[in-house]
Structure 1
């Protein structure tokens, strides 16, 4: 992990590479969490996180599933949706610079209990149908982008 000041310089100066986890249950509902932190604070968003330096995508995927969802999942279980770009006018530090992510979207099916999910990044969790999340003003546009083709 980077020190706070080093990480701040990185966020202010370059894009971050991350993985978003598009989790569906057996009913094809999508798991969203209500973001506690900037960027996207106060919006419903898919779980995910940054890939760390010298970390392989497969290892980052497994780590993020464990940290964000509190369970284990194999990388081969996931379907790669493609790369996405997320631009935010704010940042985690509250300073006056933007945040830019290059995001690798991965979809997987997991039936997990909302009661077992971590509260570090999200203050609440909910299962949404695709129609519900697309219609909601509280769901962030970057999350809606994963479903813009009607899937």
Structure 2
């Protein structure tokens, strides 16, 4: 269930959001990144993903997000869980008046590059980058880089 803007603004202002990020690699071990159209992280290269909505199971959210983000329906059993991450942003979807806090469930997917017909709804464009390349690119958001940092 997606909310009216006035309600969603209040939720962003006062609570964390729960989302799924998709760390997708092709057969050449390159990572899929999209250049974000919207706040937060507008203009940065970021892994695909999105919010989980109220009354949406994790499986339903994963299935919806893979379809919305990469135009391929995938199930949770197709992915490997990488962990829980926190993302903090100084702005929010609507403006710069207050911050956004996400609790992110990160999942890894291996995808055949030949089967992707990517939608440009949330992103201006897409690129495939090797891990070392994305870690050294200042236009790749730090929250995306965190998935590839070695501890």
TM-score range, shorter chain: over 0.9
Change (3 A) 1:115 1:65: closer
- Alignment of 1:133 with 2:137, yes or no, is no
Report how far residue 27 of structure 1 moved: 0.8
Q: Please give the root-mean-square deviation of Cα atoms over the aligned residues, in Å.
A: 1.4
* Corresponding position of 2:45: 44
Unpaired runs of 5+ residues, structure 1, are: none
**Over residues 52-82 of structure 1, what are the superposed CA-to-partner deviations in whole Å (9 max), with x where a residue is unaligned?**
0111111100100000111121210100000
**Over residues 19-73 of structure 1, what are the superposed CA-to-partner deviations in whole Å (9 max), with x where a residue is unaligned?**
0000000111000000111000010000000000111111100100000111121
Change (3 A) 1:139 1:12: same
Answer yes or no: is the 8 Å Cα contact 1:58–1:75 preserved in 2: yes
Give the TM-score of the pair, scaled to structure 1.
0.95
* Corresponding position of 2:108: 107
Give the TM-score of the pair, scaled to structure 2.
0.95
Name the CA distance, whole Å, in 2 between partners of 1:90 and 1:113: 36
Question: Aligned to 1:116, what secondary structure does the other structure show?
Answer: coil
Unpaired runs of 5+ residues, structure 2, are: none
Poorly superposed stretches of 4+, deviation over 6 Å: none
